Amino acid sequence: EAGVVQSPRYKIIEKKQPVAFWCNPISGHNTLYWYRQNLGQGPELLIRYENEEAVDDSQLPKDRFSAERLKGVDSTLKIQPAELGDSAVYLCASSRRDGHVYTQYFGPGTRLTVL
């Protein structure tokens, strides 16, 4: 089966500009996650979707970040306006149940550089 697809792989923008990231999860995976990974750190959750519903967005900076998952498949994460501190890798993951555990599968990520 095809893996999680993300685009773009790299994005360089100037501060105060908008930016958007796109994710296509593995077919049939109902749960989708957006993580942010700062340099030298493990990923941290931004938002989790169950189908088209955002069920955990407590870590999403809502003043500048927004996300949507139309029709419960593809998802878009947007930042407007971007700040220098938003430079990071943005990872998308989707999950399915393997036996008794939900296993998360990650995309290749988008490396964002804000100048």
Partner 1 sequence: AQTVTQSQPEMSVQEAETVTLSCTYDTSENNYYLFWYKQPPSRQMILVIRQEAYKQQNATENRFSVNFQKAAKSFSLKISDSQLGDTAMYFCAFIYSNSGYALNFGKGTSLLVTP
Q: Which residues bind partner 1 (CB under 8 A)?
A: 30-31, 33, 35, 40-45, 48, 50, 56, 89, 91, 93, 95, 97, 100-109, 111
Nearer to partner 1 by Cβ, of 66 and 104: the residue is 104
Helix then strand count (H, E) for the chain reads 0, 11
* Residue showing tokens 């700062």: 38
Cα R_g (the chain), whole angstroms? 14
Nearer to partner 1, 17 or 31 (CB): 31
| Residues linked to residue 34 through DSSP beta bridges, in sequence order | 47, 92
Q: How far is the CB of 91 from partner 1 (least distance, A)?
A: 7
